[in-house]
Structure 1
Amino acid sequence: MSGGLDRGRPATIPMPEEYEIHGEYDVMVFGGGSAGCTAAIQAARAGRLTALVEKNGILGGTTTVASVNFPGLFHAWGKQVIRGIGWEMIERTAALGGAALPDFSVIPQKHWMHQISVNRFIYSAVLDRLCLEAGVSLRLHEMPAAVRKGVNGTYVALVGKSGLAWYKANKLIDATGDADVAGMMGYARKKGEHLQPGTLINDIGGYELSAVDADKLNGVYEEALRNGEAVHSRNGIYQDLKSGRINMHVQDIDGSGSETRTLAEIKARRQLLDTVTMLRRVPGCETVEVRYFANECGIRETWRIDGEAEVDEQSYVSGYVWPDAICYSFYPIDLHHHSGFHIEQKMIEPGIVPTLPYRALIPKGSDDLLVAGRCVSGDRMANSAFRVQASCMATGQAAGMAAAIAVERNCSVRDVPMALLREQLERFGAIVPKLATI
């Protein structure tokens, strides 16, 4: 797979003047995951006519369709650092019996212990309710096919079950996770030469662990790996049997485009099947089966925008407070290497809470497009930390509020007054970093 800088490839679809415009919105948000849902709800609550475009038939993104249903991290060092709409999603889910909240006043031994396991069905239904209550127009089973800047606004071609139709929007928010819309509009994107592996979440059963000889198992597994007949396990195959899940590292995949994403999905399912088939050759595992697998392979890394500001590793781990900081992020550097099982982690020092700047949400030179979530501007190491769901929710709310302000003031997203943005985010319940005083 190739990395480097990409200028995007605008689709060769005729200009919308040749077609009927099927509707107009103040704000269009693309991607109904952690970032997109919070962005759409925020823009709508701020009084803007908002559409949320999602390729699947369910909201929640990676949390629901890839079963990474343990959002975090909202707390750091015994206090809450991310709140607002994202936290409201968690609270509403918990109130319906879909999540149990840990004691956040206790600093955990391991950071992941403050991730919150959510019931995917209840969580998805809560997102439906929150969007509809806010007045968001949900457009499921649709994707952007082209974006064109016109004289009187920005035109977006959506493709769905009824074909292709053009819509007009004032401001756009790319929360696709892959900077798809930024690429369609020709903004620069970055991608590493090697990308982090993916994971297909699954649950296995039907075997008798007490009858499994660990040495025999490992011998069969190592031979299968050499023959390309099993997936690389992150924790060791015997430990996977103990946990009831094959913890996969699906290597050498690229989820940034439809063709390569197709290959990634096929490879993930094939490797899971190969691994289960291999296990059936081990005494005690003759009847092992996959009892659940996620709809999609979880993708950790694709494109990142080339933004007005870039969050680098040092600014992240040092807790540097950007002059245009709009939210906190709290997760260690967590880079899953493209080969082998190594995960490069760098923990955040006690008392440090990283911040993210508004300019990292703006592609260089953009007037009408903001991004939120995994594809905001940062280097690979910082991105491996702030790509997690709570941080995506925080950037989503900031993007939604900024877009709403830009529509109201009829200005570029680069000209949104920072004092006003920070003030309005706090009014809607978000936690905004305190700026350093001179």
Structure 2
Amino acid sequence: MAKRIQEPAREIDVIHETDVLVIGSGPGGLPAALAAARAGVEVTLVERFGCFGGNLTVVGVEGMHWYRHEETVESNGIAREFEDRAKEMGAAVPESQSLSYEIDSEGFKLVADKMVADEPNIRPMLHRQFVAPIMEGNGIIGIITESKAGREAILAKRVIDATGDADVIDRAGAPTYKTPLEKMMAASVMFHVAGVDKQKFMDGIKNDPQTYADWGGGGEWNIETTGKEDEMFSPFLKKPFEQAIKDGLIPPHLSTIAGTWGAVHDTGELTYMNLIHMDDCDGTDPDSLTKYEIEGRRQSMLAIEALRRYTPGCEGIRLRNFGMSLGVRDTRKVDCEYNMTSHDVREQARFEDSVGIFPEFIDGYGILILPTTGRYFQIPYRNLLPKKVENLLVAGRATGGDRDSHAATRNMACCAVTGQAAGIAAALSIKQQNKALADIDPLLIQTELERQGGRHH
């Protein structure tokens, strides 16, 4: 039996009170904070790292809209604004496989800073880690944080969990669930390299272009498609690593080293190297995260050496940087008032309480469906409402749903859709004499979403 200690009771300073408190500033949390502020309430944005952006900045996932093609129906709203603002500030370049832009993970830190600073209703709080909810009956009324300043309390009328792992919701006692570890999507260490001969590299790509039909190599890269994706270009790299295994450079059990690159720059940088995929990583277990952070960096260096030896234009490459943290695709999900289904995301679901749309883009668990035909699904407001706890909403990766639906809603642009909707709902509930979140008229959310440039139908 594990040894235990008794933590002494103590008083904690309440350092701030706010209308809407958002925990996590990634693709779900940042839009939630922006949307709530634009809807006219005071917002506090709590983030454990030293920058906003989550996966975009901390992990280095630069392809937010890589699914976009001519017939893609877009969500618009803050999801699109991220890309537009990044382009305006010189933090985006054309993406190689779509009609989108790759968002520079370092440059977007400045973009996010500017977007937050432009909203006088937002109080940013970086370098504060959520540790516990503050409850009053079955309602959440704030959180406790830890930081260099010690333990502090923040009180709020409404709380939005945008941690990606449902940390707040789980500790508040609302029901959550997890995919079994052996079936979870793989975790990844992202990295960027420098020293690429761009012309030579691109000539090599043109001489041996890869398509989505070439995906394979184990793990996340063994995929089901609808067939329409099979002849489309993909910036996929597998052959260098197959050769490295044949030559003994990479051990045979690491056949999972394969994947995509994001953009090659005139400066010789090759960015968003999505090559390392590790099964059995539990993103809610710090020991597991420790193990796979270290293992991911080790595998990255094997991948770089293979590229150096077997890929034209990469003879002189070197590591530029790793993402600040491991990229996690799959942990807790919230048991919401409505949980999305495979049928919803594959068959263009429609809901009267829709608070956002997302194109038919499904990527995960061995499935790849790209939105090339104008198909899309709606997301209901009930999908943001956890059960059993009041004053609390979920935004981003942890919204409720089955396996296939998670492969759609986990994507960063969809996280922005649920984040914007959650921020609007939280703000409106306060402005309507503190009406319960479950009682908000979805039509009011839809009206404000339209005003903010988003789509719900």
Distance 1:278 1:77, change over 3 A: closer
Amino acid at match of 1:319: Q
3-state SS of 2:37 partner: helix
Q: Report the secondary structure of 1:252's partner residue.
A: coil
Q: CA deviation at 1:220?
A: 4.5
Letter in 2 for 1:58: C
- 2:388 and 2:413 mapped to 1: Cα distance? 27
Q: Which residue of 2 aligns with 1:329?
A: 358
User: Equivalent residue of 2:352, what SS?
Assistant: coil
Counterpart of 2:212 in structure 1 is none
Counterparts of residues 289-328 of structure 1 (less than 5 Å): 289-328=318-357
In the alignment, structure 1 residue 38 sits paired with structure 2 residue 62:
no
68-77 vs 115-124, greater mean Cα deviation: 68-77
Aligned with 1:39: secondary structure? helix
Moved more, 92-101 or 324-333: 92-101
Deviations 1:94-118 (A, max 9, x none): 122222568xxxxxxx9x5134212
CA RMSD between the two structures:
3.4
Q: Paired residue for 1:113?
A: 98
Aligned residues: 400
Is contact 2:61–2:105 with CA below 8 Å preserved after alignment?
Answer: no
Separation (CA, whole Å) in 1 of partners of 2:21 and 2:441 = 21
Q: Kindly tell me: are residues 246 and 418 of structure 1, through their superposed partners in 2, closer, same or farther at Cα, counting changes over 3 Å?
A: closer
Aligned counterpart, 2:298: 270
Deviations 1:247-273 (A, max 9, x none): 222222121233322222122112223
Q: How far apart are residue 13 of structure 1 and its match?
A: 7.3
Normalised to the residue count of structure 2, the TM-score between the two structures is 0.78
Describe the superposition over 1:48-97 as per-residue Cα deviations: whole angstroms up to 9, x where unpaired: 11111111101111111111112126867546531222322322221222
8 Å CA contact 2:360, 2:375 repeated in 1: no
Q: CA deviation at 1:288?
A: 5.7
CA contact under 8 A between 2:140 and 2:159: conserved in structure 1? no
State, as a whole percentage, how many aligned pairs show the same letter.
28
- Structure 1 residues 389 and 153: alpha-carbon distance in aligned structure 2, compared to 1, 3 A threshold: closer
C-alpha spacing 1:381/1:221, structure 2 compared with 1 (3 Å): same
Is residue 165 of structure 1 aligned with residue 152 of structure 2? yes
Quick one: which of 191, 202, 206 aligns to 2:178? 191
Contact 1:231 1:249 in 2 (8 A): no
2:82 paired with 1:129: no
SS of residue in 2 equivalent to 1:232 = coil
Change (3 A) 1:429 1:346: closer
- Local SS of the residue matching 1:198: coil
User: Structure 2: which 5+ runs fail to align?
Assistant: 1-5, 205-237, 262-269
Instruction: With the length of structure 1 as denominator, give the TM-score of the two structures.
Output: 0.81
Which moved further from structure 2: 48-57 or 361-370?
361-370
Alpha-carbon distance between aligned partners in 1 of 2:127 and 2:409, rounded to the nearest angstrom: 28
Amino acid at match of 2:50: G
Among 257, 260, 282, the alignment partner of 1:254 is: 282
SS in 2 for 1:323: coil
Q: Residue 426 of structure 1 aligns to a residue in which SS?
A: helix
Mean Cα deviation higher: 293-302 or 157-166: 293-302
Deviations 1:152-190 (A, max 9, x none): 961310111111101211110011111111111111112
Cα shift at 1:363: 1.0
Query: Which residue in 1 is equivalent to 2:442?
Result: 418
- Superposed CA offset, 1:22-45 (max 9, x none): 211111101111111110011112
- Partner-residue secondary structure (3-state), 2:153: strand
| Code of the aligned partner of 2:408 | A
Q: Contact 2:72–2:373 (CA<8 Å) still a contact in 1?
A: no
